[in-house]
Structure formats: structure tokens, C-alpha cells
Amino acid sequence: MNIILFGPPGAGKGTQAKYLVKKLNGYQISTGDILREEIKKDSDIGKKIISNMNEGKFVSDEIVNNLLKNHVFDPNKKEKLIFDGYPRSLDQAKNLDELLANSNQKINYIFFLNVDKQTIIKRIEKRKILEKRSDDDLDTILKRYDTYIETTKPVLDYYSQNSNFHEIDGTLEIDQITSKIEAFLKV
Ligand code: AMP
């Protein structure tokens, strides 16, 4: 089963992804984590993306799509992909469709965790204290939220007509969101 968790930064995608990984024996494909790993390794890609990441801007589709490919084609991860933070643009959504089709896979569920800006700001400020992420200062948070709204609207439009698209109130408590997801998955 392949699942997309979709929603603004701080919507709780990572938390739900980790839960689904355990429950379904899956793999969390967090492009944010994959990109942070490149920065940590100080790779050529890492050097290219560090300023964008710190400013809360998106990394180019080309770089993200390339990094993603290996995961989709990894035979161990086949039918066990839990996407967290990807796709974030129409180009990425179309790229994902193509990669999945080429590996005989599809998306079974798309969960849109919908959260308002004020809730996001409160949550990310809390996470900043807990995780000490360099892109978690307030200006960056606002920039990331605005970037999200601007660029992901077409992705929402692209997916929202699908019968496997489900919107969930992301302001609910973690357990309540999990229960709603479980009800759709029937697990
Ligand atoms: P996240 O951990 O998902 O909140 O992502 C942190 C940062 O990584 C974002 O603000 C972007 O700079 C970058 N990023 C993560 N995923 C993507 C993506 N799918 N496309 C472009 N940039 C991304």
C-alpha cells in the first residue's frame, strides 16, 4: 500500500508517517529528511540546497525528483511507500505518477491534513525548542507556509478529484487524526 501525506509544514505529516511506517511495515519517504541528509553529508547537492532550505524556499523539482527516484524503484520499498512532504508541486506530482507507473505501482490513499496558519505557527515554535531545526525560526515558518499555499494549490486541485483523496482536520489531536486515517485504511 502506498500513501501520500499532504499538508502544510507542521501539519503533523511526519508524526502520522512514523505511525503508518510501524503499522504497515512501511518506509517513510520524507524529502525534507532526504535533503537534510545531503546537507549533513556536505555533498555537492547539499551545498547547492542549503541556502534555499534555510530561507524556507523550495528546493528545485529537478533535485528533489532525482533524489526520490531511488526510493520508488527500491524493490524493498515497493508498495510500502509513505510519502511525507512529497509531492509539493504539480511537476513533482506528475513525476511521481510517472515513476509509479514505471514501477507498476500506484497511490492507494492521499490524506490531506488541513491546518490553519495560527495552529502551524504554534506547533512549529514548539518543535523548534524540541528539535532545534535551523529552518524553524518564525520568519522562515511564515515563508514556508506562504510558499506552501502558493505552490501546492495546483497539487491539491490535481489530487482532490481522486476517489482516494481524503481531507482530514489537521488541528485535531494526534490520536484523533490517526483514528481517522485508520478508519479509511480499515486497519
Ligand atoms: P520538511 O521537512 O518537509 O518541512 O521540508 C523542509 C524543507 O525542505 C522545505 O522547506 C524545503 O526547503 C525542502 N523540501 C522538502 N521537501 C521538498 C519538496 N518535495 N520539494 C521542494 N523542497 C522540499
All domains of the chain in start order, with CATH = 3-178 (3.40.50.300)
User: How many Å lie between the centroid of ligand 1 and the Cα of residue 98?
Assistant: 21
pLDDT of residue 122: 85
Could you tell me which of 57, 63, 32 has the C-alpha nearest to residue 147?
57
Please choose from 30, 33, 35 the residue to mutate so as to test ligand 1's pocket, defined by most ligand atoms within 8 A of CB: 35
Q: Which residue has the higher pLDDT, 8 or 73?
A: 73
pTM of the predicted structure, to 2 decimals = 0.91
The answer to whether residues 31 and 37 touch, using CB atoms and an 8 Å cutoff, is no
The model's pLDDT over 58-76, given as tens digits with 9 standing for 90+, comes to 999 999 999 999 999 999 9
The model's pLDDT over 84-104, given as tens digits with 9 standing for 90+, comes to 999 999 999 999 999 999 999
Q: Is 183 exposed, middle or buried (0-12, 13-18, 19+ CB in 10 A)?
A: exposed
133 has a pLDDT exceeding 80:
no
Could you tell me which of 136, 187, 162, 101 has the C-alpha nearest to residue 14?
136
Nearest CA to ligand 1 atom 5: 32
Q: Which residues contact 13 (CB under 8 A, 6 or more apart)?
A: 5, 6, 7, 84, 85, 113
User: How many Å lie between the centroid of ligand 1 and the Cα of residue 25?
Assistant: 24
- Ligand 1 pocket, 59 CB below 6 A? yes
